[in-house]
Structure 1
């Protein structure tokens, strides 16, 4: 990509012009644009631009996946208007979970380069001491260690500044309030035998160096105090009276209540991870390796950073992000190179080689949005390969001792655990890359220009006749309700057809019936989803509501078991739709053909309303 200015101009044009952009910022691969009116953005036109890998609407932002050139594009976009780098987005109200994830992500993004840089210093020190090149008692080691530790020691100040900026507060006031947690005077008082009292209220002696949760809670509380102070103070004295009230109210409460509460939550994280590390250490790396692409699509991988830092602070090492993301990222690289080897499309081959190379170094959005997600099957292979390699990482107790982008250059962050930990990481890389490459090469991908030639029918085996290409299978409606296209489902895993093609139903009744003759292949313990396979091999997933897994089975009555044979129209489950709505979840139910990549097309009914047993879709071989 050369002409960043031209691309920036096209992006601004297709998001509704510079007047529609609130602010502009970027992460490693995404241009993030909070828009005043998201409806003005032409997503299809943005996705069609040369240099754009994909477009995601998440966290109140239009996120445009550019790749490693994103900073150059962001700078050109910034020149086209008077945009702020601030992040407090306004506009359409989000649910609390999206708002929380969006806030945590935005708070940590500016700090990640500093965390990674200091982490790599720690990794280099570990290698130097292990090889005998540098003594742990030398002055050089002491100074380099100080350089690395400074980022983590003063983390409450950085988080206070970033959180304050995100919430629209004066970031310097927020940072200054959080600085009291690690002020030398407070640290000295903690070391004394006498209790620390503030107007007869005792302040708990807690170490807040490297703390993550307390500063976030403190600045969140500051938001409401600052809002109240601005409301009651006359304009003439706001400039000094508002920060005065902020300090006098928030600082004492931060030390007496909020800080210790955050510390308690941090201790809870310690016990949780300590339990997993001792009892089921394979769980987190395997799940992260398998589902990391979904986290990346939603930006949730950044929101896990505070938990990762809490793990470093409490345990001295990390298992949450590093091993699993290393497995997933290298699986993306392997799958991309397999696509490049197999495809006959020169443009796709070029994209796959470039995306696979960046994935080797831990930047996977180009591979995800440019290669594996559009082709579908490679994404499934990536998730399988990432899960396998992540399982290896968990079983061998792989640990990171500093933060770094999870790629081949991140091996030094494993050195703190000794040579065997590094060897285990190398094996994890090999497993992930090889599994992603081989699985994608074997199972391939569905793209019109890459369809294999039809196999010839041997005259020596006349009993095996070629199936006609125009065979279709009818999928009946499992529900009564209003038919919607998947694009209207408020969950990108379904709306982007990541799980497969299909349709959705806004149900009017809570009875779910079998859509064909076949077998129940999956019954989720929470009752929110049922998987079936027809006698003709069509695989179907009925996902009742959105995010209903959080209801933990309340309102769901499953009437079938895995492995049970069913006939079309048999009752599968009963659902309390009102309970789903009261829990704050949409009742829209996607009906997905999960192996739709094996078929030529899936055509939904043209009827706006369906009853139980009405034709919902046709699947064409």
Structure 2
């Protein structure tokens, strides 16, 4: 019996060019990410018209279908299963069909290759970095919430016998995150994933404290996720070089050995030190940015984050967040960026109030608003503000105001951070941390949210709907006339 999720998967597959056009399938918190042979085969209009689809982002040979949290996690396995069974069912059984299919696939591959050539190196790099870190987000969220709960129990002096166990649970993943980063990096760049994890594990191995480089003793974890990413990337290229030159009879023995040995030595004697310096620079720069130019920096970051989300490039910030969490125990950037979602909520509420006769749009807002309050902005972006035009800009204004609010307090020495990445909005409260009391940190963050809500609402109510209401009324009248 079909479920709504399997029905959605079945509806999506032909609209992205069918099984032969799908190369890779993955998902993040809200989006089904498909790597395609030929992006021109995607029927964007029909995809957007599907009830479960909240938005669509086309980026080179990747198609990102916004389904929302929870839904995407259920639809993805249904889509993968359907992809496999459909491919099996449609496998050619005669020479004529095989030749035609091969020619069609070859043509699609040539068009996809042309698309890849036209893609900018920066966009490709950001997409690959995103694909490395996105699979880690569920663990980061879970461990972050446990860390927040543990901190609350410690501050209250409650259940002292349980807190060491919670500390181990929350810190275990972060202590070994370099291994997972290395594994995903090798997988993304075409190497053997377990070799990527092996060379990255050198970064967090306790025994590196016995290694001295230029008179300086290394520290376990030095370089963090950046060192692990660099080590795995180097290991991938060493492995590929070995595959080309090592005789096949010796490949199984020589290639893994040389990959681990050569990459491990370079990691110990160069990459860990360089990545450690870069990680320290990131932490110093973030602290300086908010403590010195906090209000202005918060305004700019809060204003620009929604466009990054719209383009699907916000995931490229994950390595920076992760580096800050490794160094300081929390990232001070995420609460500022979270203000963009507050501006979006305020803008949606203004649209809801002003366009009270537009029942279809108000229904969309009611269904997307809970996710927006919890920091998942795509449903409101693609369902409300972006299609209307100006409300997207006024939502960014709300985010800028909320970011400036938190940035102002950073200038006063009150840091607001998050112990994990992923949630924002109201869902970020359990993850809050900082250099002051938890109550003050939560109060500043709440003040930023309220500022974002209010400014986003006011800017949209008074400035963002000048030409929208007449257009929507004309559209409704046309629809009613067509129905009659």
TM bin, normalised by shorter chain, reads 0.7 to 0.9
Match of 1:176 among 191, 198, 206: 198
Change (3 A) 1:451 1:25: closer
Residue of structure 2 equivalent to 1:334? 346
Higher share of residues assigned helix? 2
Residue of structure 1 equivalent to 2:135? 110
Residue of structure 2 equivalent to 1:597? none
How far 1:382 sits from its partner (Å)?
0.6
Deviations 1:328-347 (A, max 9, x none): 11221222222223322222
Deviations 1:438-480 (A, max 9, x none): 3222335344666689xxxxxxxxxxxxxxxxxxxxxxxxxxx
1:368-387 alignment, distance < 5 Å? 368-387=381-400
Q: Structure 1 residue 224 and structure 2 residue 246: aligned?
A: no
Structure 1: give runs of 5+ residues left out of the alignment.
84-88, 454-621
TM-score (norm: length of structure 2): 0.84
SS at match of 1:281: helix
Residue of structure 2 equivalent to 1:70? 72
**Distance in 1 between the 2:279 and 2:400 partners?**
28
**Distance in 2 between the 1:45 and 1:434 partners?**
36
**Distance in 2 between the 1:59 and 1:142 partners?**
47
Change (3 A) 1:17 1:380: same
Q: Does the CA contact (< 8 Å) of 1:154 and 1:209 recur in 2?
A: no
How far 1:5 sits from its partner (Å)?
2.1
SS at match of 1:22: strand
SS at match of 2:84: coil
Q: Does the CA contact (< 8 Å) of 1:153 and 1:209 recur in 2?
A: no
SS at match of 1:24: strand
1:115-514 alignment, distance < 5 Å? 115-134=140-159, 138-187=160-209, 189=210, 195=212, 204-208=217-221, 211-325=224-338, 327-343=339-355, 344-397=357-410, 398-404=415-421, 405-416=423-434, 417-418=436-437, 419-445=439-465, 446-447=467-468
Change (3 A) 1:301 1:277: same
SS at match of 1:50: coil
Residue of structure 1 equivalent to 2:53? 52
Q: Does the CA contact (< 8 Å) of 1:178 and 1:218 recur in 2?
A: yes
Residue of structure 2 equivalent to 1:531? none
Residue of structure 2 equivalent to 1:14? 15
**Distance in 2 between the 1:264 and 1:349 partners?**
51
Deviations 1:108-134 (A, max 9, x none): 100011111111112112222333325
How far 1:276 sits from its partner (Å)?
1.7
Structure 2: give runs of 5+ residues left out of the alignment.
86-108, 475-484
TM-score (norm: length of structure 1): 0.66
Residue of structure 2 equivalent to 1:526? none
SS at match of 1:321: helix
**Distance in 1 between the 2:200 and 2:216 partners?**
15
**Distance in 2 between the 1:253 and 1:124 partners?**
40
Residue of structure 2 equivalent to 1:456? none
Q: Does the CA contact (< 8 Å) of 2:347 and 2:456 recur in 1?
A: yes
**Distance in 2 between the 1:153 and 1:181 partners?**
10
**Distance in 2 between the 1:204 and 1:143 partners?**
31
Q: Does the CA contact (< 8 Å) of 1:156 and 1:209 recur in 2?
A: no
Give the aligned CA root-mean-square deviation in angstroms: 2.4
1:8-47 alignment, distance < 5 Å? 8-47=9-48
Aligned length: 435
Residue of structure 1 equivalent to 2:102? none
Q: Does the CA contact (< 8 Å) of 1:270 and 1:311 recur in 2?
A: yes
